[in-house]
């Protein structure tokens, strides 16, 4: 086990507060760990499996994982340089524009990773949201000064990703599970089923996550079960989720969601679903 690591960005749906419960529900033994919706990676960084496959559909997020793995000192230097100047609204919008230029041109490099981490610390509520063109559009949070990078954490993450057998993939969750074998363990933390018709925040990427995607995920959950793979999934405690995963073990948990801008909507009930 490496020194304790934690997510390098705040991410909608992050699992920091549920870690103890998730770990308690994990199988005691497994071969390879798969997380097809890695997001901020809270569970990965907590358990630090020796063999892992992580995946997401967000190109910028996966680039940041790769750059931390391969160029973490360069990222630290670039974010430290960004922090050397006070941040006002004008500077934030200027750097957000630079970041979006990277997105448009698919320049997935160290600068793009550094900008992603820096912007996450200076955008409203640490929210990652893109518009229909895939461009980041979260406003400024009025944080003028402060440190945007935890140097020790970035170094420790880099060591873990480099020295352990961690494969970083980018693409659809089904493709990420193509080579899962019996005895492996898969944790699905997909964008959640909306609680109501208006609570439909799924824009982690410009494509979102549709009802058909949720049905496809449920079919994959059952396929992996039939193949002897241990699977755990978290989602909202809503009727559709009960319907999609009928017959599997479920535990309801009360949670708080700090990323919601409306304080009255920061509590709810989530399900942990397992096939073992």
Tell me how far the alpha carbon of residue 47 is from its chain's centroid: 15
pLDDT in tens, 90-129: 999 999 999 999 999 999 999 999 999 999 999 999 889 8
pLDDT value of residue 211: 86
Q: Which residues pair with 35 in a beta bridge?
A: 54
Per-residue pLDDT band at 207 (split at 50, 70, 90): low
Q: In sequence order, what DSSP letters do the residues of 130-171 get, joined into one string?
A: B-TTS-B-PPB----SS----HHHHHHHHHHHHHTEEEEEES
**Cα 63–Cα 69–Cα 71 angle in degrees, nearest 5:** 85
pLDDT of residue 203: 45
All domains in the chain, ordered by first residue = 16-57+152-274 (3.40.50.150), 63-151 (1.10.1020.10)
Average pLDDT of the segment spanning 122-144:
90
Q: List the Cα angle 238/236/272 in 5-degree steps.
A: 110
Q: Using an 8 Å Cβ cutoff, are 186 and 276 in contact?
A: no
Q: What is the pLDDT at residue 193?
A: 87
Average pLDDT rounded to a whole number, residues 182-195: 93
Q: How far apart are CA 121 and CA 144, in angstroms?
A: 10
pLDDT, residue 2, reads 66
Give residue 206's pLDDT. 52
* Residue 144 CA to its chain's centroid (Å): 26
Over range 147-165, report the average pLDDT. Answer: 96
Residue-level pLDDT at 258: 53
Instruction: Of 29-33, 77-81, 133-137, give the lowest mean pLDDT range.
Output: 133-137
- Mean pLDDT along residues 208-220: 91
Tens digits of per-residue pLDDT, 7-60? 999 987 778 788 999 999 999 999 999 999 999 999 999 999 999 999 999 999
Across the beta sheet with 230-236, the strand order is 165-170, 51-56, 33-35, 185-188, 230-236, 267-274, 249-256
Please tell me the predicted confidence (pLDDT) of residue 56. Answer: 96
Half-sphere exposure of 20 (CA within 13 A, CB side): 3
- Cβ–Cβ under 8 Å, residues 82 and 36: no
To which H or E segment does residue 104 belong?
helix 89-105
**pLDDT tens per residue, range 216-262:** 999 999 999 999 999 999 999 999 999 999 999 999 998 765 545 55
Helices 59-83 and 110-122 cross at an angle (nearest 10°) of 70
Across 8-12, 113-117, 139-143, 210-214, which has the greatest mean pLDDT?
113-117
- What is this structure's pTM? 0.91
**Cα(218)–Cα(147) distance, rounded to whole angstroms?**
41
Separation of alpha carbons 23 and 5, rounded Å: 15
């Amino acid at each position: 086990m490496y020194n304790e690591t934690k997510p390098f960005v705040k991410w909608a749906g992050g699992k920091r507060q549920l870690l103890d419960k998730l770990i308690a529900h994990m199988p005691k033994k497994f071969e390879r760990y798969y997380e097809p919706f890695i997001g901020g990676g809270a569970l990965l960084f907590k358990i630090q499996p020796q063999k892992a496959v992580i995946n997401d559909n967000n190109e910028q997020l996966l680039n940041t994982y790769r750059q931390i793995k391969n160029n973490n000192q360069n990222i630290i230097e670039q974010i430290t340089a960004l922090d050397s100047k006070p941040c006002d609204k004008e500077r934030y919008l200027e750097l957000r524009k630079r970041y979006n230029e990277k997105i448009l041109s698919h320049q997935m490099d160290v600068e793009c990773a550094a900008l992603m981490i820096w912007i996450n610390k200076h955008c409203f509520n640490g929210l990652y949201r893109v518009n229909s063109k895939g461009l980041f559009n979260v406003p400024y949070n009025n944080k003028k000064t402060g440190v945007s990078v935890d140097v020790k954490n970035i170094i420790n993450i880099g060591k873990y990703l480099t020295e352990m057998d961690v494969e970083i993939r980018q693409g659809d969750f089904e493709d990420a599970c193509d080579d899962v074998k019996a005895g492996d363990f898969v944790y699905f933390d997909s964008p959640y089923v909306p609680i109501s018709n208006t609570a439909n925040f799924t824009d982690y990427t410009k494509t979102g996550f549709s009802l058909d995607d949720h049905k496809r995920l449920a079919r994959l959950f059952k396929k992996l079960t039939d193949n002897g793979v241990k699977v755990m999934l978290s989602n909202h405690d809503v009727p559709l989720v009960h319907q999609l995963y009928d017959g599997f073990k479920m535990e309801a948990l009360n949670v708080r969601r700090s990323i919601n801008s409306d304080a009255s909507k920061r509590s709810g009930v989530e399900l942990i679903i397992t096939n073992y």
